[in-house]
């Protein structure tokens, strides 16, 4: 049996639809792992996977602007995240973007 990974999923507003598409495409793989998401992204991911009949363990942090990016960044630093997928909107800077792009 393969190791259960903890996978962080974060998507800026203009990339949320791309994250939903990516999650659906990878739903079989993701169904075996624990997902940690920022708030809004987590709700969209949960809804999309549930519609596909996939029900992985999902933990939703705060939304990005309310500290969710920082919560996930702290988990990365503590080595609680095995894989992080960040879909950043290059054309529209986010006020909390420094948290996402800070070196860890």
What are the Cα distances from residue 17, in Å, to 45, 73, 81?
10, 22, 23
Which is catalytic among the residues 13, 28, 69, 82?
A: 69
| Residue closest to 80 by CA, chosen among 53, 61, 99 | 61
State the DSSP code for 103: -
Residue 18 a catalytic site member:
no
Residue 75 structure tokens: 């988990």
N residues, the chain: 104
What counts of helices (H) and strands (E) characterise the chain? 5, 4
Active site residues: 69
């Amino acid at each position: 049996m393969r190791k259960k990974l903890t996978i962080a999923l974060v998507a800026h507003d203009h990339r949320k639809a791309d994250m939903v598409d990516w999650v659906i495409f990878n739903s079989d793989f993701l169904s075996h792992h624990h997902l940690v998401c920022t708030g809004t992204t987590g709700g969209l991911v949960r809804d999309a996977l549930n519609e596909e009949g996939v029900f992985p363990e999902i933990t939703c942090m705060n939304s990005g602007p309310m500290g969710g990016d920082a919560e996930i960044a702290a988990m990365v630093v503590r080595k609680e995240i095995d894989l992080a997928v960040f879909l950043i909107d290059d054309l529209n800077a986010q006020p909390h973007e420094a948290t996402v792009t800070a070196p860890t």
